[in-house]
Amino acid sequence: MLEIVHQWMDEHMTIQSARRRIRDFMSVQSSNPELLKAQYRAFTRQMPMMYFILLSSTWALAITHMGVAPLWLTAGVPSLLTFGCLLRVLFWLRTRNVDPSPESAHAALKRTNRLAGGIAVAFTLWSFGLVPYGDAYTRSHVAFYMAITVISCIFCLMYVRSAAFIVTLIVNGAFIAFFVSTAQPTFVAIAVNVLLVCAGMMSILLTNYRNFESMVVSKQRSDALSSENYRLANVDSLTGLASRRAFFAELETELEKARASGNRLALGVMDLDGFKPVNDLYGHSVGDRLLVEVANRLSGLLTASTPFRLGGDEFAIIAPLPPENDQLVINANAIAAKLREPYHMPEGTVHVSASMGIAVFPDLALNREQLFDRADYALYHAKKRQRGGAVLFNSDHERQINCDAKIESVLKQADLENELSVVFQPIVDIRSQVTIGFEALARWDSPTLGKVSPACFIPIAERAGIVSSLTKPLLRKALGAACCWDPAMRLSFNLSAHDLNSEVGVLALIGIIESSGFDAKRLDLEITETAFTHDFEQVTQSVATLRRLGCGISLDDFGTGYSSLTRLHALPLTKFKIDRSFVTNLHERPASYKIVKSLLTLSADMGLDCVIEGVETEEELEALKALGGTSVQGYLFSPPLPEDQTIEFATRNGHACNKIAV
């Protein structure tokens, strides 16, 4: 019994699923919106053609029956059918260029499905109505009309499979039944012929439809893939902000819009201060989470502007329709203030700030490159003079850029060997008043520009990537002069980060030192903390190589950088040089006084020597003595001296100098 029930259920299910499949086949499926739209688009193009074939062959048949069949059948019905068809043609022509929504495409195709049945019945009944009239020729015309027209309709309805099938079923079903029933051998043969042709046509149509369907689906997939690729390229994977690539594209678009509408456009570029120490101290995963937090804060703060991550700890903001400049800077500073608030991480509370450079179109920047370069220039100024705040690019900056460009171009063509020279500033032990060494400082006397300060041309040479070509002659000259000094005296020489960025560069320096005859153990190479922000690994390696040679390594401008203590500890330093900014009036500025005191303590704790720079007054000197400072440098003792005055100065200041060579 149970088996019978199962069998019955199986059969029932099979019948049910077969029914469902037939129903699906005979209706327009809506599960794939893209397929619906593609069907609709292809179909729209073919419909006017189908109606044209249908109507022209209908009227041809009507004309051959004129005078034989009644007028209502040869003119009345065809006119009515023509009217209905023309309405449809108009509809398809009107919607030809409209991009349909999946819903409207589905509705239109469903309507076509229903109408296809109605139209097929109407035309079939009309053509059968003509059969009783006329002779064998006219009857053959009816058979020809029905057979050939249905074939062309199948072709035109190809993209709506169900409609093509309905039309074939109605027209051919009736056609075959009718002509077979006449028992007239020619008509029976035609009916069989048409049946076979239509079966073949339907199979071609089904294959074509499947190809069409898979073509649409694979296009959909490749579209999805390319949109995923687009997303990957345009979204920063860590923070979810728009990426550097998206930034440049968006900047161009917004700039075009601003140009077209005569509006202003502001660009802010931002760099975190103190991010690298966080990375060093807590590790990269905390650094990454901090960047995400910064990005979230930034997104939360902006309403009418878009944030981007340019890479590392650099961000950018594009602000269409910015407020007036003053307000713009106030807003940017408010953003910076928010970003300065502490970040609470499970590993501890982290403090960073953000410096921002802003440029505005069309004030002083007219194209994308200018806008970016100028915002970047303003950022450089913010970093130097207004850390954690915003700087708007202004006309002074523009003058500076032009001046720098001029200096750069002259420097690139300069005869460095002849135009560069070195002066020497004494370093004095304040306990004994003895000169313990000199710091070599570069001078450039250009035939076109005159004397240019190293504070000006060194950073320009660094930015232009040509500083190493200056370092070499300067080092040769400094060592050449120092060879004449008393062997107890040391030489300090300033190096740039770029000098330490490559192994080849360091080897060149070693070559110069070794061939000078000056004992490397008497040489102190001064580097600033910023040197380590370039390529920490390479710079550390270069420093270690120079240490092995015997050179001392001094950390210049100590206190102005943002290195973490862990980082400093990792370096093979021998000396600190406390920056002049802490020394100026330190006896009247408790903050400076405390800083110098702690830096002196720190250097003593680390077992390092410490030189205090920029001592200009007796008061400063007294304060430094009270703090236990020993080695100082500054105008109070001497400005930088030409080479030929060094020996005299040292002798006068208590150091017997043995001249070795002239």
Nearer to ligand C2E, 165 or 457 (CB): 457
Min separation Cβ 640 and Ca ion, Å:
11
Check residue 529 for interaction with Ca ion (CB under 5 A): no
Q: Residue 582 CA to chain centroid, in angstroms?
A: 41
Task: Quote the DSSP letter at residue 337.
Answer: H
Check residue 526 for interaction with Ca ion (CB under 5 A): yes
Nearer to Ca ion, 160 or 543 (CB): 543
Q: Which two tokens stand for residue 5?
A: 């029930």
Min separation Cβ 473 and ligand C2E, Å:
10
Strands 490-494 and 434-446: parallel
Q: Which residues contact 570 (CB under 8 A, 6 or more apart)?
A: 540
Check residue 499 for interaction with Ca ion (CB under 5 A): no
Whether the CA torsion 447, 448, 451, 452 is positive or negative: it is negative
Q: What CA–CA distance (Å, rounded) separates 303 from 77?
A: 66
Nearer to ligand C2E, 352 or 441 (CB): 441
In the shown chain, the binding pattern of residues 557 to 596 toward Ca ion, with x for contact by CB under 5 A and - for none, equals x---------------------------------------
Nearer to Ca ion, 170 or 611 (CB): 611
Q: What CA–CA distance (Å, rounded) separates 526 from 506?
A: 14
Q: What CA–CA distance (Å, rounded) separates 26 from 53?
A: 24
Min separation Cβ 228 and ligand C2E, Å:
48
Q: What CA–CA distance (Å, rounded) separates 457 from 443?
A: 9
Of Ca ion, ligand C2E, none, which one sits near residue 58, judging by CB under 5 to 8 A according to partner kind?
A: none
Of ligand C2E, Ca ion, none, which one sits near residue 363, judging by CB under 5 to 8 A according to partner kind?
A: none
Nearer to ligand C2E, 358 or 615 (CB): 615
Q: Residue 84 CA to chain centroid, in angstroms?
A: 57
* Sequence-ordered alpha helix ranges (H) in 321-432: 325-340, 368-385, 395-413, 416-419
Q: What CA–CA distance (Å, rounded) separates 130 from 73?
A: 7
Q: What CA–CA distance (Å, rounded) separates 317 from 309?
A: 9
Q: What CA–CA distance (Å, rounded) separates 21 from 14?
A: 10
Of Ca ion, ligand C2E, none, which one sits near residue 638, judging by CB under 5 to 8 A according to partner kind?
A: none
Nearer to ligand C2E, 82 or 533 (CB): 533
Judge whether 276 and 533 are in contact, CB under 8 Å: yes
Give the binding range for Ca ion (CB under 5 A) out of 13-21, 339-347, 409-417, 549-557. 549-557
Judge whether 609 and 575 are in contact, CB under 8 Å: yes
Q: Which residues contact 111 (CB under 8 A, 6 or more apart)?
A: none
Min separation Cβ 530 and Ca ion, Å:
12
Min separation Cβ 526 and Ca ion, Å:
4
Nearer to ligand C2E, 505 or 614 (CB): 614
* Sequence-ordered alpha helix ranges (H) in 65-100: 71, 77-94
Min separation Cβ 347 and ligand C2E, Å:
36
Give the binding range for Ca ion (CB under 5 A) out of 150-158, 165-173, 526-534, 589-597. 526-534
Give the binding range for Ca ion (CB under 5 A) out of 267-275, 310-318, 371-379, 494-502. 494-502
Task: Quote the DSSP letter at residue 134.
Answer: S
Nearer to Ca ion, 236 or 613 (CB): 613
Mapping DSSP to helix (H, G, I), strand (E, B) and coil, where does residue 365 land?
A: coil
Nearer to ligand C2E, 455 or 591 (CB): 455
Angle among Cα 557, 562, 568 to the nearest 5 degrees reads: 80
Nearer to ligand C2E, 363 or 556 (CB): 556
Min separation Cβ 316 and ligand C2E, Å:
30
CA distances from 607 to 446, 595, 603 (A): 42, 18, 6
Of Ca ion, ligand C2E, none, which one sits near residue 453, judging by CB under 5 to 8 A according to partner kind?
A: ligand C2E
Q: Which two tokens stand for residue 306?
A: 């878009």
Q: Which residues contact 429 (CB under 8 A, 6 or more apart)?
A: 435, 436, 630, 631
Q: Which residues contact 516 (CB under 8 A, 6 or more apart)?
A: 476, 479, 480, 483
Min separation Cβ 385 and ligand C2E, Å:
16
Min separation Cβ 525 and Ca ion, Å:
10
Nearest CA among 425, 491, 432, 439 for reference residue 630: 432
Min separation Cβ 435 and ligand C2E, Å:
14
Nearer to ligand C2E, 425 or 516 (CB): 425
Min separation Cβ 377 and Ca ion, Å:
24
For tokens 């903390």, the residue is: 529
- Strand positions, DSSP E, 393-521: 420-429, 434-446, 450-452, 490-494
Nearest CA among 458, 339, 357 for reference residue 408: 458
Nearer to ligand C2E, 321 or 627 (CB): 627
For Ca ion (CB under 5 A), the number of binding residues is: 4
* Sequence-ordered alpha helix ranges (H) in 73-184: 77-94, 102-130, 136-156, 161-181
- Contact with Ca ion (CB under 5 A): which of 239, 279, 353, 494? 494
Give the orientation angle of helix 467-482 with respect to helix 454-464, to 10 degrees: 130
Nearer to ligand C2E, 255 or 442 (CB): 442
Of Ca ion, ligand C2E, none, which one sits near residue 442, judging by CB under 5 to 8 A according to partner kind?
A: ligand C2E
Of Ca ion, ligand C2E, none, which one sits near residue 435, judging by CB under 5 to 8 A according to partner kind?
A: none
The total number of residues shown for the chain amounts to 662
Min separation Cβ 489 and Ca ion, Å:
17
Min separation Cβ 478 and ligand C2E, Å:
8
Of ligand C2E, Ca ion, none, which one sits near residue 117, judging by CB under 5 to 8 A according to partner kind?
A: none
Min separation Cβ 496 and Ca ion, Å:
11
- Contact with Ca ion (CB under 5 A): which of 556, 563, 621, 650? 556
Min separation Cβ 578 and ligand C2E, Å:
11
Would you report the helix, strand and coil content of the chain in percent, each value rounded to 5?
A: 60, 15, 25
Nearer to ligand C2E, 455 or 662 (CB): 455
Q: Which two tokens stand for residue 456?
A: 């000006």
Nearer to Ca ion, 74 or 631 (CB): 631
Q: Give residues in contact with ligand C2E (CB under 6 A).
A: 425, 441-442, 453-455, 458, 474, 494-496, 556-557, 580, 614-616, 633-635, 640
Of Ca ion, ligand C2E, none, which one sits near residue 496, judging by CB under 5 to 8 A according to partner kind?
A: ligand C2E
What is the phi/psi pair of residue 582, to 5°?
Answer: -85, -15
The site for Ca ion (CB under 5 A) is made up of 494, 526, 556-557
